[in-house]
Structure 1
C-alpha cells in the first residue's frame, strides 16, 4: 500500500459520496440494497477497470439488459434497472470482489461503512413507522385546538419524541427513566393519564432522551423535524 494508492482510493470514494447519500431517500431494505450496489458500481468504474469493463460489455451484448437500461434512462427507475441488470451479469461477483480487494489493500472497510448507514436508516424507519399512529392523533388534536399555544406544540412533540425512542434500542434506559418521571403506567400509551405538568423538558432526564432521538434521526439520514412534518 502506497500513499498514492490511498490518495486515489480516497478521491474515488469522495466522488461516489453522492451515491452513498441516497441511503437517506430509501424506504425499504430493497431500496437500500440498490444504493449499496450502485455505490459498488461507481467505485469499480474507477478502481477496477478490467472487471468493470467486462461487466459493462456483458450488458451491452445482452439485448434484454441493454434495452431495459436504455428505456429507463432519465426515469425514477433508472438506477434500480441498471443495478438489477448488473447483478444479473456473470461478471458481477468478480466486480464486487475486486472492489473489496482494493478497499482492503488501503485499509478501508466498505461493508462496515455501508452496514452503519443501513442499520441507522432501518432503525429510524422502524421508529417513524411505529410512532406514526400516535403522531396522527397528536397533530389532529393540535389542528383542532383553536386556542393552542407554542407550549402545546412543544408538549405534543415531546410525546412524539418519547414514542420514537421506544423503537431505538440504545435508548431503552432513557425512555424507561422518562416513563418513571412522568408516572406513565403503560409505556406504549403515553397519552393515558397524561399530565402536562410532569412533561417538563427542563428535567434532567429529558435531555439524553431528546438528544438520543435526534442522533438516531441523523444516523438515519433525516431529522426529528422532518419526521414530525411528514
Structure 2
C-alpha cells in the first residue's frame, strides 16, 4: 500500500517551482492532489498533464474567501483534506532594504506569513474529518487557551500513565539527597583510582652542575 493512498493533498503555489515537485511526489505515493495558485492557465495545464488524480483551483492565499472556495471544491471532488502544503511564497522586488517599499514588504508578509496562517485556520475542520478515526480534538473545557481547542489534537484512546515504580525502573536515582528508602540497592562497580589521587612521581634534577640546594617542583 502506498503511503498516501486515498489521501487528499492541497498544495499552494503548485503551478511552478517546488510546488510541481511536491505534486509529483504525492501522486507517486497514491494521493489525490489539488493545485492552488493564482496562475490559472498554467495550473490547469499542469493538472491536465498529471491526470485524473490532480485538480486545479484558483487560490489567492491572502483571501479568506478563496480559501473557503478551494476547500469546498477539494472536498467535493476528493473528500476531506489529509495534508496541507503551504508552499506559496514570493520574494521582495527591492534590491536593498534602504530602497525598499513598505507596501511591497507588507505584501511579502501577507503572502508568506499571513497566507499560511489563513490556510491552516481554514483547513483545520477538514483535517479533523480526515483524521477522525484515529485522532480527536482535545476538549475545550480542559484548555485554558481559547485557541487550543481548534489547533491541538491528541491520540485516542489515551495512553495509561505510568506509575512511580515503573518510572523508577527506567533510570534509578543515585542522588545523595534522595532518601535511603528510594535509592537503588545495586552496588556501584569498582572504579580505578583517579589519576589525581595517585602519588606524584619523584622528580630527579638533571646533572647540569647546578647547586644541590636548588628547589625542584614536586
Larger Rg: 2
State TM-score, norm by structure 2: 0.24
- Higher RCO (Cα < 8 Å, 6 or more apart): 1
Which structure's residues are more often helix, by fraction? Answer: 1
State TM-score, norm by structure 1: 0.23
